[in-house]
Chains A and B, each alone.
Chain A
Amino acid sequence: MFKVTIDNQQVDVEEGTTILQAARMIGGKVVPPAMCYYSKLRGSGGKCRTCLVKVAQSSAKDPRPMPKLVASCSTPVQDGMVVQNLTSPEVVEARKAIVEFLLLNHPLDCPVCDQAGECDLQDLSFRYGMEETGSEEDRREFPVTDIGDKIKLHMNRCILCYRCVYTADQLTDKRLHGVLYRGDVSEIGTFIQQAVTNNFSGNMIDVCPVGALTDKTFRFKSRVWFLNPMNAHRDCPSCSGNVTAWMFGNEIYRVTGRKNQYGELEEFICNECRFEKKDPGDWVIEGPRHIKRQSVISANHYERMKKQSVIKPIEGIMEDPE
């Protein structure tokens, strides 16, 4: 077992854990944000650089600090490592610059985008970003394309995190899409407009941290904060059938997987559950899903309070019961 200190909090972790995973074991504010790393996708991470942290002490044996900020999602811990996340002004400053870089080519079309309200990049730029941009150049522009008949690709909004590529690689039996070209001109493309037909391809919508891949059956139907996310399940032959049903009154507007507090899917769901089953009769509604009160989705969203926060009302206000 390795002893790691992150933002003055100590945790014992297995050998081979990354700094990000160790921080997630502590939880709370020490967890660095991640745009490309996805714990359920092998090989993801190391691309967006939002999870940069400062290593003030490499290990117990070698107490020198690491010369540069490191990506916490792909750096394994050492015994006696001391990591600084929010306690280091250098990291906060670097993260500001990273957000600016991610937004260089990101269009300001949140009012149009279906992802607005549950977008990781929106949260990230709200928390760490600046109001102004330094760039005066035009953003790159691509036409809006279809990936299959159920998924819309807005390449303008893509931040090239490669999550969807790993999803297509690891979840489906045949790889049908990937990243074409290099650097500034790189884009997500299917093999000559080939439709993505695999039964689990819809998960790339949920995996996408921005609004680049969106559900065509939900396109411009409503804003996420007008809907009520409910836990629902059904007996599905191909997946677990545990989903979030986004309801408006008695109608189901869209179906997504269940996401944990880091915005990652708990289980991948099949396309039949996601796109075909929009009738409330198909589902067993369990109850409202827990939404952080800081989220805009929590507007008019009522759920039963956890017992803990009833007993300790002050703590319940101080931090989100998660």
Chain B
Amino acid sequence: MTNLTSRSKIVSNKKMTFWERIYLPAILGGLRITFGHLFRKKTTVQYPEVQREFSDIYRGKHVLKRDDEGRERCTACGLCAVACPAEAITMVAAERKPGEENLYREEKYAVVYEINMLRCIFCGDCEEACPKEAIFLTKEIVHSEYHRDELIYGKDVLVEPMDPAKRIDVSKRQTPEVLAFKQNKKFKHNR
């Protein structure tokens, strides 16, 4: 019979010699390898005290952005939900009432916006699909929880804080084309 792989070993039942039977050389050999590793460079870091450097476009927890005036950008158009391959996003839309113009950017907004983080595969398709530049993935990591319900993130977790100092910078995630588009004065929303 021919061997399927060259790494297979034929085992024999031959009797061990005296030195092999006392096992000491084998134990000492193992200890040498173990102590040798103590003086090597460590491959692990002390998370969370030490954190590795993240890429600028790391895809972690989502954020629902506000615009410069603090209004929510999301209009509940549903394109993120239809683009989502894991079907993690659900939303309920509502009409903006008079007097809420400083809260929501357009006449429609999302009352409920939920992402099931257990389903999410962090592919970033929602970010790609969003026509209003409302949803972005951030460097923040989604932490584990004890209950499944706690991993369905609602608007209370996802929407970024109103305070301008606490806003999340996503400019590094945007391509030069997008940034150039936002400067184009031909479009009314840039004037």
Does any Cβ of A come within 8 Å of B131's Cβ? yes
Contact between A219 and B82, CB atoms less than 8 A apart: no
Complex contacts, A109 vs chain B, CB 8 Å: 106
Complex contacts, B78 vs chain A, CB 8 Å: 222-223, 225-226
Nearest CB of chain A from residue B104's CB, rounded to whole Å: 11
Contact between B77 and A220, CB atoms less than 8 A apart: no
Q: How many residues of B contact A (CB 8 A)?
A: 17
Contact between A299 and B82, CB atoms less than 8 A apart: yes
- Taken residue by residue from 207 to 247, chain A's Cβ proximity to chain B (1 for < 8 Å, 0 otherwise) reads as 00000000000011111011000000000000000000000
Q: Which residues of A130-145 are within 8 A (CB) of B?
A: 133, 136, 138-139
A274 CA / B131 CA spacing, docked (Å): 31
- Taken residue by residue from 267 to 290, chain A's Cβ proximity to chain B (1 for < 8 Å, 0 otherwise) reads as 000000000000000000000000
Nearest CB of chain B from residue A105's CB, rounded to whole Å: 12
Contact between B186 and A136, CB atoms less than 8 A apart: yes
Nearest CB of chain A from residue B93's CB, rounded to whole Å: 5
Does any Cβ of A come within 8 Å of B107's Cβ? yes
Contact between B81 and A112, CB atoms less than 8 A apart: no
Contact among B77, B107, B186 for A223, CB-based, below 8 A: B77
Does any Cβ of A come within 8 Å of B152's Cβ? no
Nearest CB of chain B from residue A183's CB, rounded to whole Å: 22
A222 CA / B94 CA spacing, docked (Å): 9
User: Across the two chains, which residue of chain B brings its CB closest to A144?
Assistant: B107
Complex contacts, A205 vs chain B, CB 8 Å: none
Does any Cβ of B come within 8 Å of A104's Cβ? no
Nearest CB of chain B from residue A12's CB, rounded to whole Å: 44
A219 CA / B81 CA spacing, docked (Å): 19
A65 CA / B107 CA spacing, docked (Å): 50
Nearest CB of chain B from residue A110's CB, rounded to whole Å: 7
Listed by A's residue number, 16 A-B pairs whose Cβ atoms lie within 8 Å are: A111-B79, A111-B106, A111-B131, A111-B132, A112-B75, A112-B77, A112-B107, A136-B186, A138-B188, A220-B93, A220-B108, A221-B93, A222-B78, A223-B78, A226-B78, A226-B81
Q: Apart from A220-B95, A226-B78, what are 19 other A-B pairs with CB-CB below 8 Å?
A: A109-B106, A110-B77, A110-B131, A111-B77, A111-B79, A111-B106, A111-B132, A112-B75, A112-B106, A136-B186, A138-B188, A219-B95, A220-B94, A221-B93, A222-B78, A222-B93, A223-B77, A223-B78, A299-B82
